[in-house]
Chains A and B, each alone.
Chain A
Amino acid sequence: MAADQASSGRTPGTAAGPGGTAATGRLAGVAPEPGVRKPDPLLVMDQVTRSFGGITAVRVGHLEVQRGTITALIGPNGAGKTTLFNVVSGFDRAAGGRWWFDGHPLTGRPAHRVARRGLVRTFQLTRTLARLTVLENLKLAATGQRGERLLPALLPPLWRGQERQIEERADEMLERFRLGPLRDDHAGTLSGGQRKLLELARALMARPVMVLLDEPVAGVNPALTQSLLGHITELRDEGLTVCFVEHDMDVVMGISDWVAVMADGRLVAEGPPHTIGRNPAVVDAYLGRRHDEPEATEEE
Chain B
Amino acid sequence: MDISVIVSDALRSGIGPIAAVYALAAMGLNLHFGYTGLLNFGQVGFMLVGGYGLAVTVATWGGPLWLGILAGLASAVVLALLLGLPTLRLRADYLAITTIAAGETLRLFYRSSWAEPVTGGVFGLQRFANEFYALSPIPRGTYGVWLVRFSARDLWVLTVGWTLVAVTGVLLALLVRSPWGRVVRAIREDETAARSLGKNVYACKMQSLVIGGVIGAAAGMLQAIQVQSVNPDSFDPAVTFFLYTLLVLGGAGRILGPVVGSVLFWFVLTFLDSALRQAIDAGYVSPELISTSEVGAVRFALVGLALILLVTFRPQGILGSRKEMLLSGR
A–B touching in complex (CB under 8 Å)? yes
Nearest CB on B from A76, distance (A):
25
- Interface residue? A291 (CB, 8 A): no
For B, the interface residue count at a CB cutoff of 8 angstroms equals: 30
Interchain nearest-CB distance for B179 vs A (Å): 3
CB neighbours of A141 from chain B (8 A):
197-198
Q: Which chain B residue lies CB-closest to A89?
A: B196
> Are A91 and B174 in touch, CB under 8 angstroms?
no
Using A148-B179, A159-B178 as known contacts, say yes or no to A131 and B189 having CB atoms under 8 A apart: yes
**A107 on the B face (CB < 8 A):** no
- Which chain A residues (84-142) contact chain B, with CB distance < 8 Å? 89-91, 110-113, 115-116, 120-123, 127-132, 136, 139-141
Known contacts A112-B198, A123-B192; is A156 also within 8 Å of B174 by CB?
yes
Which chain B residues lie closer than 8 Å to A163 at the CB level? Answer: 179
**Interface-facing stretch out of B18-26, B54-62, B180-188, B292-300:** B180-188
Contact, CB under 8 Å: B207 / A150: yes
Residues of B within 8 A of A143 (CB): 198
Find B195's partner among A115, A136, A146, A148 (CB 8 Å cutoff): A115
Q: Are A153 and B175 in contact (CB under 8 A)?
A: yes
**Partner of B327 from A123, A146, A189, A206 at Cβ < 8 Å:** A189
Q: Are A153 and B196 in contact (CB under 8 A)?
A: no
Chain A hits for B323, CB < 8 A: 186
Which residue on A lies nearest to B199, using beta carbons? A112
Query: A140–B197 Cα gap in the complex (Å)?
Result: 8
Tell which of A115, A132, A188 touches B182, judged by Cβ atoms closer than 8 Å.
A132
CB of B288 closer than 8 Å to a CB of A: no
Q: 1/0 contact trace for B142-181 toward A, CB 8 Å? A: 0000000000000000000000000000010011001111
Q: Is the CB of B196 within 8 A of A111?
A: yes
Asked if A290 is at the interface (CB within 8 A of a chain B CB), the reply is no
> Does A91 contact B192, Cβ atoms closer than 8 Å?
yes
Check A130–B189 contact: CB distance below 8 A. yes
Given A112-B195, A112-B200, check contact A148 B327 (CB 8 Å).
no
Q: Kindly provide the distance from the CB of A167 to the nearest chain B CB, expressed in whole angstroms.
A: 11
List 18 A-B residue pairs with CB atoms under 8 Å apart, sorted by A's residue number.
Answer: A91-B192, A91-B196, A112-B200, A112-B201, A113-B198, A115-B196, A123-B192, A130-B190, A130-B327, A130-B329, A132-B182, A143-B198, A147-B180, A150-B175, A186-B327, A188-B327, A202-B197, A206-B197
- B interface residues with partner A (beta carbon < 8 Å): 171, 174-175, 178-183, 185-186, 188-190, 192-201, 207, 323-324, 327-329
